[in-house]
Amino acid sequence: MELTVYKIDGSEAARTATLNDNIFNVEPNDHAIWLDVKQYLANQRHGTHDTLERSTVSGSTRKLKRQKGTGGARAGSIKSPTIRGGATVFGPHPRDYSFKLNKKVKRLARFSAFTYKQQEGKITVVEDFSFDAPKTKAYKDMLKNLKLDGQKTLLLTPELNNNVFLSARNLQRTQVMRASEANTYHVLNAGHLILCESCLKELEKMLGE
């Protein structure tokens, strides 16, 4: 598929970029997408939550009242889960939420995400650019020239460009990252995808992973 290449001033660069069909025109697999996004979100969890059980909660072990003759239920300890301030039953404890996912599944999920963006017409290719210094206004002007201001965008670059990254850092609904680091979640979470022209070759390297 051919897409027009734009300059950051919004004008056309008088050439087109070819999107590899093996990345941007595959048969989408929704289940692979679900698994990949699930793994990414699971890996973001710290798993440090913890609750006090009966053996760890602070409190006296003295029997609260005699066993019989009170007319009420038996009460053996102030640590009982049925008493306010007592222990927690079957509460969460520190654990690792991460799980293994095959590389082929992750790659299919990523390609499926790119395909959905291509089908929705939510991909714009811009020629490689850089800023002389970090400047938020320069990045905002670029989005305005491309008619993408106010939209949730993800810019993929072939390599880390600090000036571009820092220019976009203070903008809401805007993200900049290397093409090799973009995963399924990032691609689908963006409303519009902006691809630097040379990062298309970086994406094609994923075919050989």
User: Where in the chain are all domains bearing CATH 3.40.1370.10?
Assistant: 2-45+97-208
Give 12-39 pLDDT, tens digit per residue: 988 899 999 999 999 999 999 999 999 9
CATH topology of domain 2-45+97-208: Ribosomal Protein L4; Chain: A; (3.40.1370)
Please report the pLDDT score of residue 209 as a whole number.
Answer: 58
Please report the pLDDT score of residue 108 as a whole number.
Answer: 95
β-pair partners for 153? 174, 192
**To 10 degrees, what angle do helices 136-145 and 162-169 make?**
80
Distance CA 17, CA 198 (A): 10
Mention every residue, 6+ apart, whose C-beta is less than 8 A from residue 48: 94
Please report the pLDDT score of residue 78 as a whole number.
Answer: 92
Please report the pLDDT score of residue 14 as a whole number.
Answer: 87
**Residue ranges of the chain with per-residue pLDDT less than 70:** 208-209
Largest CA distance in the chain: 94
DSSP labels, 146-205: TT-TTS-EEEEESS--HHHHHHHHTSTTEEEEEGGG--HHHHHH-SEEEEETTHHHHHHG
CA distances from 170 to 19, 68, 167, 177 (A): 30, 67, 7, 14
Let me know: does 108 contact 29? Beta carbons within 8 Å: yes
98 closest CA partner among 43, 49, 40, 48 = 43
Please report the pLDDT score of residue 1 as a whole number.
Answer: 82
Instruction: Give the percent of the chain with pLDDT over 90.
Output: 79
Give 33-48 pLDDT, tens digit per residue: 999 999 999 999 999 9
